[in-house]
Chains A and B, each alone.
Chain A
Amino acid sequence: MAKDNSKKRKWTRRAFIITGGLAGTGLVVGVAGNLYMNKAVKKYSGIGMGEGSSLNAWIRIAPDNTVTLAVPRAEMGQGIYTALPMLIAEELEIDMNSIEVIHPQPDKPYTNTFLVTQKEPNAFKGYTMMEKVYTFIGIVGTGGSTSVPDGFNNMRYAGATAREMLKKAAADKWGVAVAECRAEKGYIINAKNERLSYGELAEAASSIKIKDLPELKKKEDWTIIQKPIQRVDIPEKVTGDAEFGLDVRLKDMLYAAVRHPATIGGKITGINNQIDIEGMRGVKKVVLTDFGAAVIADNTWRAKNAALALDLAEDDGGNTGISSASIAQQLTDILAAKPLATPEDEGDVNTALSGSGKVIEARYDVPYLAHATMEPMNCTVQIEEGKAAVWVGHQAPFVVQNAVNEISGIDQSAILVHTTYLGGGFGRRAEPDFVKAATAIAQSMPGTPIQTVFTREEDMRNDMYRPAVASQFKAAVNEKGEIEAWDNMIALQSVSNSSMSRVMPSMAVKPKDDIATTEGAMHLPYHMNNRRVAFGQLDLPIQVGYWRSVGSSQNGFFTECFMDECAEAAGKDPYEFRRSKLDKHPRFKAVLDKAAEMSNWKTPLPENKFRGIALHKSFGSIVAEVAEITKLGDKEFSIDNYYCAIDCGQYVNPNTIEAQMQGGIVFGLSAALYGEITWNNGQVEQYNFPQYDMVRMNVSPTVAVHIMEVDEYPGGVGEPGTPPAAPALVNALAAATGVRERSLPLAKQGYRFV
């Protein structure tokens, strides 16, 4: 199918070179070179990876020396189109300027085994049995902050083996020993300083087999990894050329807008005014699918207006009794009932709680949250006889193929998935719902590509929400300031059970086995004499899903606020109190110390300024944050600064990590300040940004980030910045007001932030 490129005045390589005129005078600061010269990232793999010879599944080199790298992970702002190529380029000995990035089809080599195993993989040394199984299933996905942990070995070995293949090809050509050849900036060079370019060698190299796993470069020899490399996707994100799912334009394409059932678990049973709607300008068709009613038109706005005008008959599924009040009551009942599971139980908590220590008790609550990605859900599908093509910004293309297959019966192998840029993911874009709806709609007009759009209103009211969670704590603090007992009971809907039953039904866990429920509440690094973490399950037809930092998004808030309450009960400074309990965990202690040092924790603040601290590990990385706020009036504050230290092991691109910490904190603050999805009569009450507000420029703090130099295997960076944001702020508020807020969002408690 022809792609309609008529809209594009494509920026050429030239466009990014700052030449001539004013820029040549040196007045323009620091904008020369690097990725300006890089051709815009190509999103589509098409059938293969373009011209040239493939050295492995990730690397293809054309005769003109263009190196095309396949990045099978979704670029949703976390910089993965740059980070994985950095790992390859380091070992392949190429310049980051010489690469092009494509997003390949979700073929089996691109499986993200770390996503499932949470273990360092090494495909080049050989996968374990389970890794082979996951590779066979082809779990190609982006989530759980796993792309670098999954790729850290694999991508370096992909680069290193390709380099050795090129060296061998050159050695053969010259008739010299491989040991006499070295690789440098896209050339193999021999002892006589003769050079052959990778482009000249690629074809011969592609058939060479490397028997022994090559040595990887030592950290001190790295010239790309751990350097602040400019992101390859940014130039086209400042010109408007970057193609998101909603920007896909195909020949003869139509647009569809969906109306979902208004009530959770409801079903649209009929359309009362189909004829009238079909008569509206631009409308091509009105369809009723299992997912809702839809209008297909020649323009999104016409489709959207017509969809709004649909008069629908709906079966509410008997769920109109669901409301935020009923949910709160159910959570309270679960907290009081016998736990479903007690995954952490050390020592004798009951006895310790009735001992001589000071006992404190508290209940914390957070509401349902929407992902509210900036780009609303959308998916473009073209169904043809026995095959399909999909254009979508999705975190898991294998989920896309399964979804299209489920609806259309078309074999997965005949479904091409063109992964575009994602206008935000945060877990929402791992779900199959919008792909299924788009497929069902496209099926009604075979041959025609149809772009199905959820309006912001439909997107917000049909999310897979971060669940509402209640968390009950009881702790005993003894006279030495030790935590004698820590007892935590959590109540919520199981996220993994809900999401996996949609995404990978065969692997769906039972609520009692859902580790996401207690992630960030268990294995706290602090020394405690006795501890117990238990949970109960709330059963509701509300769909819940993975939301940036998942269980840690609430458990980080609960545990780190309650730690402050324990410190207060012990009469200790919150930083010193935490620190005294970290002797067995030097990495945690170092991160905590760093954040305290960055914030000058020990120096008193001027009048009306206050601090709060929080420390949390998630997705393999430890993050400490200090929030610094100013009290402007009764319950009125400005959030001035965050000081953030992260230990993510061996990091890849420090510039991106800084951005992820800054963004992760803002994401956490939007939830802490404003975020709340409420229910009434079985329906979501919020439907757009005025009702579901976000932190904006005026409220956003200045964030200073420090990355710890640690030689451990990498952890993730996309999510770990978020969990400490809310507790650091709420701890600062408690320092300012003497009042401990235990329920989010803060705006609902009357707080105002400017």
Chain B
Amino acid sequence: MELNINGKNVTVEVEDTMPLLWVLRDELNMTGTKYGCGVSACGACSVMLDGVATRTCILPVAAAVGKPIKTIEGIADGENQLSAVQRAWIEHQVPQCGYCQSGMIMAAEALLDNNPDPSDEDIDKAMTNICRCGTYQRVRSAIKGAAKMRAGENSLLSSL
């Protein structure tokens, strides 16, 4: 099977039914995407599949063939520049234990891609991941911070 992950094509020899999560983690050693529940209840395993935040613990790998997959390892805007969401996450000192944060960040990236200026309600709706450490308040403020960074960067781009 051929997958497109973070812009690169990779071939894996696994069962069609193996969830994408375990292909990433155990076959490709891309461990940034986490296992939390295995039943699509916590969001720790979220990646972007064709631009949509997707929980990979119940997603058969075969369903991901032919669609671009973006993982936490692939969201930085190049070698020297973390994404706006990542930078906001650091600025707001969001992570505690950090285990849920890959999933949180992927959900936030997808939210902002679709909705550049989300309201509190939009954030509540999109961000249904569990954080056992309770970082929600900082996740919320970091999403708003990232939205501002993205807006600033976009307006600069269009003025160039």
Contacts and interface: CB of A to CB of B under 8 A. Distances in A.
Question: Are these two chains actual partners, yes or no?
Answer: yes
Interface of A: 4, 6-7, 9, 14-23, 25, 27-31, 35-36, 76-79, 230-231, 233-235, 237-244, 246-247, 249, 255, 281, 298-302, 304, 372-376, 421-426, 455-456, 655, 659, 662-667, 670, 688-690, 694-698, 700-703
B29 interface: yes
Instruction: Provide the main secondary structure of the chain A interface.
Output: loop
Contacts of B99: 244, 373-375, 423-424
Contacts of A19: 80-81
Given A15-B79, A77-B96, A78-B96, A234 B90 contact: yes
Contact of A689 (B27, B30, B90, B130): B130
B29 A695 contact: no
Contact of B130 (A231, A455, A696, A701): A696
Interface in B14-50: 14-15, 18-19, 21-22, 25-39, 41-42, 44
A613 B27 CA distance: 52
B136 A666 contact: yes
A694 B132 contact: yes
Given A77-B133, A374-B131, A697-B128, A659 B81 contact: no
Nearest to B130: A694
A675 to B, nearest CB: 12
Given A27-B149, A77-B98, 8 more contacts: A234-B94, A238-B90, A255-B26, A300-B26, A424-B99, A424-B133, A659-B96, A697-B124
Interface of B: 14-15, 18-19, 21-22, 25-39, 41-42, 44, 71-73, 76, 79-82, 86-87, 89-91, 93-102, 105, 123-125, 127-140, 145, 148-149, 152-153, 156-157
B98 A697 contact: no
Most chain A CB atoms below 10 A, which of B99, B125, B149: B99
Instruction: Provide the main secondary structure of the chain B interface.
Output: loop
Nearest to A20: B80
A25 B153 CA distance: 9
Contact of B39 (A35, A664, A689): A689
A369 B82 CA distance: 39
B82 A659 contact: no
Contacts of A20: 80-81
A19 B138 CA distance: 25
17 contacts: A6-B29, A27-B153, A35-B90, A238-B86, A249-B29, A299-B26, A300-B26, A421-B97, A421-B98, A424-B97, A424-B132, A662-B134, A665-B134, A670-B134, A688-B39, A689-B41, A697-B123
Contact of B90 (A31, A76, A374): A31
Contact of A240 (B15, B32, B80): B32
B130 A666 contact: no
Contacts of B94: 234, 238
Contact of A372 (B25, B39, B132, B137): B132
A255 B35 CA distance: 14
B124 A698 contact: yes
A304 B58 CA distance: 14
Contacts of A78: 96
Contacts of B105: 238
Given A689-B39, A696-B128, A27 B152 contact: yes
Nearest to A78: B96
Most chain B CB atoms below 10 A, which of A16, A28, A301, A373: A301
A23 B36 contact: no
Contacts of B127: 696-697
A230 B90 contact: yes
Given A238-B101, A240-B72, A77 B95 contact: yes
B101 A700 contact: no
Contacts of B35: 246, 300, 376
Contacts, number: 222
Given A664-B134, A665-B134, A688-B39, A4 B29 contact: yes
Contacts of B145: 29
Contact of B32 (A6, A76, A239): A239
A22 B32 contact: no
Nearest first, the 5 closest Cβ-Cβ pairs linking A and B are A240-B32, A666-B134, A77-B96, A423-B99, A7-B29
B44 to A, nearest CB: 7
Contacts of A701: 137
A705 to B, nearest CB: 10
Contact of B135 (A14, A16, A421, A659): A659
Given A300-B22, A663-B135, A688-B41, A36 B81 contact: no
B73 A239 contact: yes
Contacts of A234: 89-90, 93-95, 98
B93 A240 contact: no
Nearest to B154: A22
Most chain A CB atoms below 10 A, which of B18, B36, B71: B36
Given A240-B73, A659-B135, A690 B41 contact: yes
Given A20-B80, A255-B26, A664-B134, A246 B93 contact: no
Most chain B CB atoms below 10 A, which of A4, A233, A698: A698
A659 B141 CA distance: 13
A7 B72 CA distance: 13
Contacts of A695: 134, 136
Contact of A238 (B30, B82, B123): B82
A301 B138 CA distance: 33
Given A4-B29, A374-B132, A666-B134, A233 B98 contact: yes
Contacts of B132: 372-374, 424, 426, 667, 694
Contacts of B130: 374, 689, 694, 696
A375 B71 CA distance: 19
B140 to A, nearest CB: 7
B156 A242 contact: no
Contact of A31 (B36, B87, B140, B152): B87
A662 B138 contact: yes
A281 B93 contact: no
Given A249-B29, A697-B123, A374 B133 contact: yes
A177 B38 CA distance: 65
B81 A239 contact: no
Contacts of A690: 39, 41
Contacts of A304: 38
B71 A240 contact: yes
A669 B44 CA distance: 21
A9 B72 CA distance: 12
A281 B91 contact: no
A242 B98 contact: yes
Most chain A CB atoms below 10 A, which of B21, B98, B124: B98
A242 B89 CA distance: 15
Contacts of A300: 22, 25-26, 35
A667 B132 CA distance: 7
A423 B102 CA distance: 12
B31 A7 contact: yes
A354 to B, nearest CB: 46
Nearest to B25: A300
Contact of A28 (B76, B79, B87): B87
B137 to A, nearest CB: 5
B131 to A, nearest CB: 7
Contacts of A76: 97
A16 B27 CA distance: 28
Contacts of B82: 15-16, 18, 238-239
A240 B33 contact: yes
A659 B95 CA distance: 9
